Amino acid sequence: MKQRILGLDLLRVVAMIFVIIDHTIVCGLGADDETMMHIIVGDSVLFFMISGAVLLPVEGSGVAFLKKRFKRIFPPFFIWSVVYLLLSYYFEGWTLGTLWKEFYSLPLKPSFGAAWFMYALMGFYLMAPIISVWLNNTSRRWVEYVLVLWALSTTIPYACYFVEFPQNIHDTVLSPFVGYLGYMLLGYYLYRYPLNAESSRYKTVAWAVLLMLAVVLPVRLYFFTEKYGLTYMLHNDQHINIVAYMAIYFILIIQVKRLPRWIEMGVTRLAKLSFGIYLCHTAIYEYVVLPHMYDCEWAMLIAPLATFLASTLLIYLLSLTPMKRYVC
pLDDT in tens, the chain (328 residues): 567 889 999 999 999 998 898 878 765 555 555 555 655 656 688 899 999 999 999 988 889 999 999 999 999 999 999 999 999 888 888 888 888 998 998 888 888 888 889 999 999 999 999 999 999 999 999 999 999 999 888 877 666 655 665 555 666 777 777 788 999 999 999 999 887 655 666 667 666 765 666 456 655 555 555 554 444 444 457 777 788 888 888 988 888 888 999 999 999 999 999 999 999 999 999 888 887 767 666 777 788 889 999 999 999 999 999 888 888 7
pLDDT at 32: 52
Sign of the Cα pseudo-torsion (98, 102, 105, 108, in order): positive
In this structure, what are the phi and psi dihedrals at residue 20, rounded to the nearest 5 degrees? -65, -40
pLDDT at 29: 54
d(CA 13, CA 243): 19
d(CA 276, CA 317): 11
Nearest to 181 by CA among 5, 52, 31, 2: 52
d(CA 182, CA 192): 15
DSSP 253: H
pLDDT at 231: 47
- Structural contact between residues 210 and 72, judged by C-beta atoms closer than 8 angstroms: no
Contacts of 191 (CB under 8 A, 6+ apart): 52, 53, 54, 254
d(CA 269, CA 265): 6
d(CA 153, CA 93): 43
This prediction's pTM: 0.85
Domain segments of the chain as ranges: 6-327
d(CA 264, CA 269): 9
Which amino acid, 202? Y
d(CA 70, CA 84): 20
d(CA 180, CA 49): 9
Report CA 10 to chain centroid distance, whole Å: 14
DSSP 97-148: HHHHHHHHTTTTS-SSGGGHHHHHHHHHHHHHHHHHHHHTTS-HHHHHHHHH
